[in-house]
Copies of this chain bind each other. A is one copy, B any other.
Amino acid sequence: MSATVSKTNPGNFFEDFTVGQVIEHATPRTVTEGDRALYGALYPTRFAVPSSAAFAASVGLDPHPVEDLIAFHIAFGKTVPDISLNAVANLGYAELRFHRPVLPGDTLSTRSEVIGLKQNSNGRSGVVYVRSTASNQRDEVALDWCRWVMVHKRDVDAAAPETVLPDLKKALAAEDLVVPDGLDFSSYDFTAAGEPHRFDDYAVGEKIDHVDGVTFSDAEHMMATRLWQNTAKVHFNTEARPDGNRLIYGGHVISMARALSFNGLANAQLIAAINGGSHVAPAFAGDTVYAWSEVLDKAELSGLSGAGDSIGALRLRLVATKGRDESMTLRNDDPSTSSGTGGYQDGVLLDLDYWALIPR
């Protein structure tokens, strides 16, 4: 009998974490066809694999997987109450890999291992590094990733832990990528998919303006973020920020930009990995978001799967901007501006680095 104990979750503070600690996050979540439909209502996605069971089957994916980012958002959302409820800042993520497609009926659970700690010199907070792994009901890994957040200390007098910094890759190599079992692009229908461009049609350094824009609304980003059971209060509560705005979840911007990138990257069907991302500026309802991409690298994946030479990978920079930037400029070279030389160009919201699978 402990009725006097507070029943609500205060989240973890910096001194609650130890290197090697494993946290099993709450609330397993079953993915359904309802998630697919809502994703399609919230983002203008038209990629043929998640849109069509028949198309997915024609490239070896049967039953019909959902959009990769659905799995990511659900898996990520589970970590929020334990890892970042008391976060000062979400600093970054790396080495995200999709290990297998997620199917309707799959139940995802996430666990995190603390892989690094570094107290800040001010003694009031510290950086926590975790590797999180989302698995299905058969304990098969669906995706994993590393993430680091700055977290408040509960007690500024608590002793600093030994500093441990994990060795994280700036980008995964092509040979680190996992090609889904059975995926085979050798009878790929480019007409049905919407564009003729294949692996060989893209060149490293090429930039693509995805043209279309979407204006955000509060109801939509709240519904998306809630769907992933993400509980960070700034997304839902006008009383949580001095300006009275509801901050749009960074993952909402990722999904919107990825969906917009269909126009020019229609055949970049599956996300294999995310190397990292910067959420450069906050986004709010009323902002109109556009996207452009840059091809950072290319890799033939022969030998990585049983699909022979049908699959290639593009490493892409996906940039979301507030207002369209036809010049597709990432960095500001004008030293007289507020952001200064080398900072991100005004209007950049997101700079995401990922690997996509595309027919060769």
Q: Given contacts A37-B37, A264-B7, is CB(A30)–CB(B52) below 8 Å?
A: yes
Q: Are B41 and A227 in contact (CB under 8 A)?
A: yes
CB-CB under 8 A from A203, the residues of chain B are: 1, 3
Residues of B within 8 A of A28 (CB): 48, 51-52, 54-55, 192
Say yes or no for A12: interface residue by CB 8 A criterion: no
A313-343 CB mask vs B (1 if < 8 Å, else 0) is 0000000000110000000000000000000
**What total of chain A residues lie within 8 Å of the partner, measured CB to CB?**
84
A residues 5-55 near B (Cβ < 8 Å) are 5, 7-9, 24, 26-30, 32-38, 40-44, 46, 48, 51-55
| Cβ distance A318 to chain B, nearest Cβ, rounded Å | 14
A233 at the interface (CB under 8 A from B): yes
Beyond A43-B226, A52-B30, A288-B239, whether A7 also contacts B265 by CB under 8 A is yes
Which listed residue, B34, B42, B48, B227, touches A226 by the CB 8 Å rule?
A: B42
Closest to A64 in B: B30
Q: Does any Cβ of B come within 8 Å of A99's Cβ?
A: no
CB distance from A42 to the nearest CB of B (A): 7
Contact of A193 with B by CB under 8 A:
yes
Whether the Cβ atoms of A27 and B194 lie closer than 8 Å is yes
Closest 6 pairs (CB-CB, A-B):
A34-B37, A26-B194, A3-B203, A219-B219, A7-B264, A28-B52
> Which A positions have Cβ atoms within 8 angstroms of B?
1-3, 5, 7-9, 24, 26-30, 32-38, 40-44, 46, 48, 51-55, 64, 81, 104-105, 107, 109, 137, 191-195, 197, 200-203, 206, 208-215, 217-220, 222-224, 226-227, 229, 231, 233, 236-240, 246, 263-266, 286, 288, 323-324
